[in-house]
């Protein structure tokens, strides 16, 4: 069936989003059309506001502050020498919600199944190393590899341990209060909090 170009283009863009294929994207487009012009304008304005979001120059989490640093990295009350490395921004949000972590974060991005970091991830890691060397007297007190407790997460952690050992006194993983094969993003606050406390 020959659909208008505007619908085809939006279906194409939505199909690029995680977990959304062409069929689901088409359904979403028709749903939006059925909601009317006001709903479409409201969504378009919400998306446009994302242009104001920036990445923190230290940890690569999102923010809308005037400078280049997010509120977490800018908080002098947080332990600057305790760093949790995470793959996804949603993992950071989940850990923050436990209120049991007072260090800083580093968003590495999703590690490919091959375990080989993308070029932009290598640059981020170099940024972390430079920060530690310049600001933390060459070494962090502890780096937590806060990856999902899956075989892939274990594999990725083992690769990074070698890379990070020279720049930290201790490297730990989240405790196994988290179910094997589970994801940080979907863990409840209490379970995730216990995993932080029992890290090893």
Instruction: Please indicate, yes or no, whether residues 130 and 183 belong to a single structural domain of this protein.
Output: yes
Mark whether 100 and 36 lie in a shared domain: no
Q: What is the CATH number of the domain that holds 16?
A: 1.10.8.420
Query: What's the structural domain count of the chain?
Result: 2
Residues 14 and 75 in one domain: no
The answer on 43 and 64 residing in a single domain is: no
Per residue in 40-74, pLDDT (tens digit) is 999 999 999 999 999 999 999 999 998 999 999 99
User: What is the C-alpha to C-alpha distance for residues 186 and 90, in angstroms, rounded to an integer?
Assistant: 9
pLDDT of residue 177: 64
pLDDT for the residue numbered 114: 82
Q: Are residues 30 and 64 in the same domain?
A: no
pTM above 0.85, yes or no: no
Looking at the structure, do residues 141 and 161 belong to the same domain, yes or no?
Answer: yes
Together in a domain, 38 and 114 = no
Residues of the chain predicted below pLDDT 50: none
What is the per-residue DSSP string for 100-134? ---SEEEE--PPPTT-PPPHHHHHHHHHHHHHHHH
Domain holding 27, by residue range, is 5-52
């Amino acid at each position: 069936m020959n659909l208008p170009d505007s619908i085809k283009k939006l279906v194409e863009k939505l199909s690029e989003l995680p977990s959304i294929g062409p069929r689901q994207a088409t359904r979403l487009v028709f749903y939006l059309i059925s909601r009317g012009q006001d709903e479409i304008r409201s969504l378009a304005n919400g998306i446009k506001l994302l242009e104001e979001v920036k990445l923190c120059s230290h940890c690569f989490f999102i923010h809308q502050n005037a400078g280049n640093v997010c509120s977490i990295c800018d908080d002098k009350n947080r332990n600057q020498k305790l760093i949790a490395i995470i793959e996804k921004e949603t993992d950071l949000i989940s850990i923050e919600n436990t209120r049991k972590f007072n260090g800083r974060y580093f968003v590495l991005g999703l590690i490919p199944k091959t375990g080989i970091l993308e070029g932009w991830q290598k640059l981020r890691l170099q940024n972390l190393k430079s920060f530690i060397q310049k600001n933390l007297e060459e070494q962090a007190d502890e780096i937590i590899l806060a990856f999902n407790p899956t075989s892939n997460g274990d594999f990725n952690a083992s690769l990074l341990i070698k890379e990070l050992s020279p720049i930290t006194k201790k490297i730990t993983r989240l405790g196994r209060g988290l179910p094997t094969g589970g994801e940080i993003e979907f863990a409840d606050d209490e379970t995730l909090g216990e995993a932080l406390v029992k890290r090893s």
